[in-house]
Structure 1
Amino acid sequence: MPTRKTKLTGKQKAAILMIALGTDVSATVFKQFTEQEVEDMTLEISNARKIDAETKAQVIDEFFQTALAQEYISQGGIGYAKQILEKALGSDEANKVIQRLTSTLQVKPFDFMRKSDPQQILNFIQNEHPQTIALVLSYLDPDQAGAVLSALSVEQQANVARRIAQMDRTSPETITQVERILEKKISNSSVNEDYTQIGGISSIVSVLNGVDRTTERNILEKLETHDPDLAEEIKKRMFVFEDIVVLDDRAIQRVIRESENEDLILAMRTASDEVKDLLFKNMSERMAASFKEEMEYMGPVRLHDVEEAQTKIVNTIRKLEDAGEIVIARGKGDDVIV
């Protein structure tokens, strides 16, 4: 095992910590490891020979500071953690702890904003370039990002949504630069050195699922004008067949009436038991019995046909919602039937 004068790797530090903790505690920690991590740690511990007291103390102290910093971050964010650590350790040592923590635990960029109210975030970013707004929203929790997106001007909403959907990879330098601009009154946070995968269709779908229906419709209508293919792809993912469980009984009964029996039977072929039970519950006993019998004796069918049937039913659901005849629960309960 390297001496204290040699820079230790993360695995070597972990091995020293396991040895210092003793067999009982280490055995408990090992239960949380993956198989590969167990192999790696076993090898490192096996290679360890004599560890001097100073090296052991440094590793334990580093672990303690990191754990303490993580606790501070969970309480009030990176800015709060850095402020507390600076008082205890000094500025230089605090920066080292925060940098070590954010790189090893992959604390996400813009963490300081996750502790903020959506209105506060809006005040931070509403006058920024749409690409900057899209970058920030891509890192926020979907509900939080949805609330901010809803509060943007009508002109900004579709523009930002399109940029999130089309976003691929952003360099750490760009992210850091944007963070520094937005964190004028909050301590700078570090980012992972690897290029980070953000944005994309899944990201904007998660965000749109957190906005109100009016905002969603406005964004999609504008996207249909500027980029119809993107709008269609987003709509396909906004509500899938399994999401039928969010509908109330009245809405499900309406969907059943508006759908072809053949499509319903095919769509239920790969559905979860929860979806099947919900649909059967909202059918007449005779209809449910007929469906169950037909499904039992149905031969093999193409997955493509099943997916096509599910798409037809999803389209029916969206048409009924657009007409105001059913409500799809979304966001934080803004859609209420009165």
Structure 2
Amino acid sequence: MAAQKDLWDAIVIGAGIQGCFTTYHLAKHGKRVLLLEQFLLPHSRGSSHGQSRIIRKVYSEDFYTQMMDECYWMWAQLERESGTPLYRKTELLLLGKENPELKTMQATLSRQGIEYQYLSSEELKQRFPNLRLTNEEVGLLDKTGGVLYADKALRALQDAIHQFGGTVKDGEKTLRINVCYWPEKVPGSYSVSQAFPCFMWLGLAPHSIYGLPSGEYPGLMKVCYHHGNSADPEERDYPMAPSDTQDVQILCRIVKDRFPDLKPEPAIMERCIYTNTPDKHFVLDRHPKYDNIVIGAGFSGHGFKLAPVVGKILYELSMKLMLSYDLAPFRISRFSGLGKAHL
């Protein structure tokens, strides 16, 4: 890119939600920016495809909950700019037995002044009769929770990037999980229209279960297992592994035991790739050797909703501006004592 017309203030590699929001912030601030994507857009070979994602403020860590305040504002701003609905409030129900993790999340919500409701076992059973609950399970209802329309958000961002003068080039090459959709026995019993919330269920399996009410596929509820076996991102077209089958069997058992109004076998199964860090926190930092390279990675299956602020942070890092957030939890140096096998 030697010609003057091909000189850029920033080049962003990867047109998933994080790369798109980073490019959006750069272009919106008048920077000459190029966004590169190795696959032709749109595609389903990364971590940002699909029609829906959960949005929530409930977290164990204060810093994520604080970031989410600005994220909600930015998602609403993108809705206004695009004229496209990108968010639907459904609330988020966090389920599990009384344990330190649940208590920590409740304490964070209280400390940050987030509206929520604690539901006893009896209150849960009265309010959600279509869930099979034990007497030991309680709930936290995050009143801010809801559904983000993922595919629409990506399209809105890419349109905005063009409007702000940015350039997107696809087809420029530079951990997976299983997502299943279960058909309802009784139409609408787990739907957004019936005010059924998004949910996260702790302690049902070695890793948590989460899901969204039926909406993107009418009559089908999205239920996911927050786990999967390792996958080479360069070899994404692979047959189902034995561990994938085991994960689906875990979901089938949980659906049969806990969701009496769903049919026990999935109607649709989709895959999504996670890039996990050892502590499940992001990497947002400058490259330790090359000062002109900024890294945003390792979003560990919970980065989509936080992308507006992540993109802002990566814009600030790339332009060497004052940072809006403390990046101590996200620095690469926190892994300096770990060998490559742990990363």
TM-score (normalizing by structure 2): 0.21
Structure with greater proportional strand content: 2
Q: Which has the higher contact order (CA 8 A, sep 6+)?
A: 2
TM-score (normalizing by structure 1): 0.22
